[in-house]
Structure 1
Amino acid sequence: MEKRLDPRIKRTRSLLKTALLNLIDEKGFDAITVRDLTDRAEINRATFYQHYLDKFDLLDKSIENELQDLVTTVAPRNREEFTIAGGEPSPIHIRLFEYISEHAYFFQVMMGKNGVPSFQHQVASQIQDFMSEVLDHMHPDFKDAHVPKDFFTHYVAAAMIGLGMYWLESGMKYSPRYMAEKASYLTIWGPVNAIGLR
């Protein structure tokens, strides 16, 4: 991540990321040039090339950093976060929808009409890989499961992406906590039972 970077570097990269998002939103990634990015960010081309190889490198690193932040923020702290009961939303889902809310513009642009087609697949792959790794630690024995682990991770990834997209497209008319409550209910009373965590 970029927490220890010089503030000037962080500011330049932030300006370029914002310029990238604005331009994708306006005309799509394919139509963007490095000059568009530098003009929008109000930096010179030499400065751009000190940080990125080209526009593809800027896009790749922007997505990679965002998804790393997402996974780090949302990561379950313990097994109980998977199986919380009593009508309370899972802390995992609370953190997920709060993160989406705080970074709504990024997700709206990337998944919007001019967005990056591969982004949804990248999000799904990140969630699947992460869930698989977590389950290896928290639920290593799948002999009691009614579905294979890869079925479960694909199901959860698709469900969370679908709910997130619906929420963003609807103008986030529900609060993050409300979304977390409903996602928790769907997850805990459905697929979680199917893999034997309860």
Structure 2
Amino acid sequence: MEGNTDLRAIRSRKLIEHALLDILKNQGIKELTVKNLSQQAGINRGTFYLHYKDIYDLIEQTEWMRGLLDIFEPIQLGDLFKHSDERSPFPAIAEAFRYLQHHASFFKAVFHPSAPIEFRERLQYLVGTRLYESLKKDHPDSSWSDQPAGYIIAYLGTGQFGLIQHWFITGRTLPPDEIAMMLTRFIRHSPCLSPHFSES
């Protein structure tokens, strides 16, 4: 009986993810609602809420978003600032942009300007938190540590989100390694970060 329940759960999640991709591709993220997605997937809204808290939770749990965050997760700012080759991007950042390029059909919709502001803020928070945790770990006693964490996370997340979004808006005309090189330089020369790491 438990096996049947697991199979039903897997089937429901697959239907939901397929419906998600279909709506993002053909209608855009602005039309992504629980009602539309449930109708597209052929399930009721109660089934959706058995698996996800809301639409944002669904997107954050997709294999594509988890894959991107898994790339950002191990990035240590201390290592980035020790990256001495000025002509090449930090490897993990380059990997992240290659990943974005490879799954462009999904991320183009996710980073589209028409995305609800709530979702944009959550993405910014997710990205900013990754850098903030690294900064806090590497420099727990730095002068920024007595500043409200929310503001630092907002600063770090907004910059990265904006750069990625602009890359998609402009049709990804710059190669992944070139935009990764740009982000590497921006982070290394950030007034919020560079003083702490240049002292190391």
Could you say which TM-score interval applies, normalised by the shorter chain? 0.7 to 0.9
Question: Which aligned pairs between 1:106-117 and structure 2 lie closer than 5 A?
Answer: 106-112=106-112, 115-117=115-117
Partner of 2:58: 62
CA distance in 2, matches of 1:89, 1:166: 19
Question: Which aligned pairs between 1:19-168 and structure 2 lie closer than 5 A?
Answer: 19-24=19-24, 25-26=26-27, 28-30=31-33, 32=36, 34-38=38-42, 45=43, 52-53=48-49, 57=53, 59-66=55-62, 67-78=65-76, 79-87=78-86, 88-112=88-112, 115-143=115-143, 148=147, 150=149, 151-168=151-168
Partner of 1:186: 186
CA distance in 1, matches of 2:169, 2:153: 24
Say how many residue pairs are matched: 184
The answer (yes or no) to whether the contact 1:29–1:115 under 8 Å persists in 2 is no
Deviation at 1:186, TM superposition (A): 1.9
The range that moved more, 120-129 or 60-69, is: 60-69
Deviation at 1:15, TM superposition (A): 4.2
Partner of 1:41: none
Per-residue deviation, residues 78-99 of structure 1 (Å, max 9, x unmatched):
4313442331211232132122
**Secondary structure of 1:171's aligned partner:** coil
CA distance in 2, matches of 1:107, 1:174: 16
What TM-score, normalized to structure 1? 0.73
Query: Quick one: which amino acid aligns to residue 39 of structure 2?
Result: R
Deviation at 1:7, TM superposition (A): 8.7
For the aligned residue pairs, the C-alpha RMSD in angstroms reads 3.4
The answer (yes or no) to whether the contact 1:76–1:82 under 8 Å persists in 2 is no
Gaps of 5+ in 1: 1-5, 39-44
Per-residue deviation, residues 160-186 of structure 1 (Å, max 9, x unmatched):
111111111111111111111111122
**Secondary structure of 2:49's aligned partner:** coil
Per-residue deviation, residues 100-155 of structure 1 (Å, max 9, x unmatched):
22332222222336534322111111122222222221121213x69957454332
The answer (yes or no) to whether the contact 1:132–1:149 under 8 Å persists in 2 is no
Structure 1 or 2: more helix by fraction: 2
**Secondary structure of 1:53's aligned partner:** helix
Identical counterparts, % of pairs: 19
Gaps of 5+ in 2: 1-5
CA distance in 2, matches of 1:103, 1:172: 12
**Secondary structure of 2:168's aligned partner:** helix
